[in-house]
Every structure is written in C-alpha cells, then in structure tokens.
A and B are shown apart, each in its own frame.
Chain A
Amino acid sequence: MNLNAAILGYGAYVPIYRIRTEEIARVWHGGGAGPNRMKAIASYDEDILTMSYESASQALSMANYPKIQAILVGSESKPYAVKPTGSILSDILGYNSTLGVDLEFACKAGTEAMQLISGMVSAGTIDYGLAIGADTAQGRPADELEFTAGSGAGAIVLGRPNGREVAKIKHSVSYVTDTPDFWRRPHDQYPMHLGRFTGEPAYFTHTTTSVKMLFSETGMKPSDFKYAIFHQPNPRFPVEVGKRLGFTDEQLRPALLNDDIGNTYSANTIIALAKVLDMADTGDMIMLASFGSGAGSDAFVIEVNSRDDDDGYVPFSERLRNYREVDYATYARWRGKILK
C-alpha cells in the first residue's frame, strides 16, 4: 500500500541489565554459549508497560508532544490477558482522547502498529498516532529460546509529512500464512516451537516474500537503499536473509543488535530502526522487514529527512554501552522463573 505518513519522533529502550549466554549455558549445558553474546533483561520492576513508557517518552519528546489520537501497543508479554496496555499507557502519558489498542503477532506486533497508524494518518482519520512494540520475552528454562529471548521497547510517533519530519513512510506490504513455527496457548507461561522449522518455512519464506512484494509494488531494488533492517531472532538470520535478497554487508550491518541484546520480539525491528535513524542522513532510503511467527512479515520503504536533536539527546548505540551484567540466579528471580 502507498502511504503518506511520517515518523515525527522515535524512541528505543533497552533495560540496563544483561545476562551472558555463557552464563545460561553454564547452568543448563555445563558450558558453551548461545548464538548471541548477551541478551537484555528487564529488572523485576519493569514490564512492557514501563518500557513502552520509556520509549514513548523519548519519541514524544522528539516529536514535541503532538496531540496523539491512537496508541497501539504490540506485544506478546502483556501484563494482563484482559485489560488493555494501551489505555494504561494513554493515562500515564496524559493522552485520554485516543484509541488505546493492544496487538499481538509474535515478533511483528510492533510493525503492525506502525503500519496501522501509518494507514490511519495517510487516510486522514487521525493526525497523530503512537506505535509501540515492546516485549519481555521469555524462553522456557533450558530451552534454546532462552539464549535469545530479551527485553526492550521501541516507539514511533507518526503523522503526515510536514517538512520537519524525521522520515517518511512511503510504502508498506504484509504477507501472512498459517505456519505453526511458534505459539503459546492462553494459560501457558512459555511458548512452544518447532525448532528448525522456524527457519526456512517460517522466517525465510515470509520475509523474502514480503520484501519481494515490496519490490514489485514499488519497482525498487536492493541497491536503491542505504540501509536494510530485518527481524533479528539471532545474529545470523538477518544477514542470511539480506544476502539472499541481494543486500550487502554495508546495508545490513548498521541495524544489527542481536549479539548485544538478544531478540526483543515486538520491539526488535523498531529498536533497529531507531539505531539506523540515529545515523542516517537526509535522503537515505531504508528497507525494513519484520517477521512474526505464526507467521507473517511486514515490509516498509522509509525515506529519511532530517532530525533536530535536543541538546540532551543521547544516541541509542551510546546508551547501549552502559549496561550491568547479572547472573542466572538474579535473572531467574527477576523474571519469575523461581516457583513461589
């Protein structure tokens, strides 16, 4: 779909705490490590509401607090099964005359929020909206997902292009099928998955299909883009899928984050977008493709305009350098893995 939407502000939040995958492997496998070096973990007093608040505060500050009419929160780790995160967040942010909605689609709920609000502002049904992807993803102890399932939140303030926008969202497509690579039933704490089935039939098929759809609808090709952002369930997949589609290391590398923070699920591609927007220049084109198990992929064409930094703005990559490592016991306590 053609879009006439603009990113007016963005924010990315990753908790200050990390656990090394070596530490997880020490406990469950007697040594070794996961595919990534570390993952970010939320403290005991953080959840997707608090992390959404953090990232939204950054995005709203950058956008100069416009009158938000829709707040969409994408997550698979909501504090309530029934009770919207969107309304809690609306209240805390001081926007009550707004739509407040929660979305879920494994790792792509955040880009769904982005696509939906982009559509609403393009159609003129609202002037400004806030799209958020946030998760405190959990892997079952000893499961391979435990190495990568991390915590984080990304937020985008969207409106129509006004000449002072950070970037324009020009086009978006989605592709979904019923592919059961990963799921969680309502009362289960941890998800189930089919191991390597999440690779070719799920991640690679859906991502390459959506990106090819995007190319075909827009007539664009990999060399038209300065940056390419793919969902990062581990350090290897985004590079692999990018190469298959014809992107180069130079286009792919700036977005990579998995080695440092793991897979932040619904926040994954939005946080990566924030990292790329921090370094992008006017006129740069960005291709972004998310992936959500179950399965589907949203792809976007984004054109960078400019960004007026506040005096106090600290780029995401710099904030990422400040972290504290915790051991498995602390992680297990904080993330509710100890039976009480």
Chain B
Amino acid sequence: MNVIPIAYWRNRKVYTRMIGTKCKDCGAEFFPPVRVCKKCGSRNLEEKEMPKNGSLLAYTKLSEPAQEFKEYAPIYLGLIRLDNGVNVISMIADADEEKLKAGARVQATVRKWTEDGKGGLVYYGYKFRVLQ
C-alpha cells in the first residue's frame, strides 16, 4: 500500500473540497489547514473553503515521480496562487505545456490522484487546469 487509506479518509475534505482554515483573530487563511495561526500564533481557527480560482506562478514536468504516481509519468505540478493569496502546490490536469505560462489563470477540479494497485482504493483530489 503506497497510500494510507485512513489518512486519506481523514483528509478527504481538504483533498476534494479544499477546506483550509481561517484565523478568527487575525483573519489569515491557510491551506492546507493549520492548527496554530502562522501569522499571529492564535489557536482560534475555523474551517474555510478555499477559492477554486487562481494564477500559476511556476510549473514543473516531473518525469520520475514517487512510486504511487509512476504509471502516470510525466506528471505536471504547479505552484498556484489562489485568489485569496494562499499558495498551493497541485498537479495540473489536462496539462498543455504551451499554456503553462506564469500568470495563466487556473481553476480547481477533482481528478483521480492515484489507485492503490488493482484491488486497492481509488484516491481523488483537487487538480488545477488552465482556463481557456
């Protein structure tokens, strides 16, 4: 097993709905969720769904990913700035290198991340795609 099924289950709302956290004291937003505010140190945080739109800052084409992604190589990864200013690293769906320019507008969708072999679970989560 290359993925820990119970850990995936625990995090599924983060993975599929992009639920992060917002600090109730200073308003800072975080993704993935944090338990202590990185801005003001407060432990008073609430769940916050992240915006699904953003801009691409940088991308890489990865030819040798870790074993659970090996059969999908090459995979494309992007560093994305969401419209609330939060940065996220995500796989890029339907990647077309021509369109992977810094500043390109991107939008989150849900895609398959990996399958744990033939009989194992199928793992789904956010991926971003370049808007036409």
Q: List residues of A whose CB falls within 8 A of some B CB.
A: 16, 43-47, 49-50, 53-54, 79-80, 88, 91-92, 94, 322, 324, 340
Contact = CB atoms under 8 A, between A and B. Distances in A.
Contacts of A94: 17
B96 interface: yes
A79 B111 CA distance: 13
B3 interface: no
Contacts of A49: 110, 112, 122, 124
Given A43-B93, A44-B72, A49-B110, 9 more contacts: A43-B111, A45-B72, A47-B112, A49-B124, A50-B111, A53-B110, A54-B110, A88-B124, A92-B110
B16 A92 contact: yes
Nearest to B9: A91
Nearest to B112: A45
Nearest to B75: A45
Contact of A46 (B12, B13, B16, B111): B111
B46 interface: no
Pick the most buried of A16, A45, A91, A324: most chain B CB atoms within 10 A of its CB: A45
Contact of A50 (B17, B72, B96, B124): B124
Interface residues on B, range: 10 to 19
Contacts of B87: none
A340 B71 contact: yes
Interface string B57-84: 0000000000000011000000000000
Contacts of B97: none
29 contacts: A16-B94, A43-B93, A43-B94, A43-B111, A44-B72, A45-B72, A45-B91, A45-B93, A45-B112, A45-B113, A45-B127, A46-B112, A47-B112, A47-B122, A49-B110, A49-B122, A49-B124, A50-B110, A50-B111, A53-B109, A53-B110, A80-B122, A88-B124, A91-B13, A92-B17, A92-B110, A92-B124, A322-B132, A324-B96
Contacts of A16: 94
Contacts of A91: 12-13, 16
Pick the most buried of A54, A91, A322, A340: most chain B CB atoms within 10 A of its CB: A91
Nearest to A324: B96
B112 A50 contact: yes
A340 B122 CA distance: 18
A323 B112 CA distance: 20
A226 B17 CA distance: 40
Contacts of B94: 16, 43
B129 to A, nearest CB: 9
B18 to A, nearest CB: 11
Contacts of A50: 109-112, 124
Contacts of A44: 72, 112
A317 to B, nearest CB: 15
Interface in B110-132: 110-113, 122, 124, 127, 132
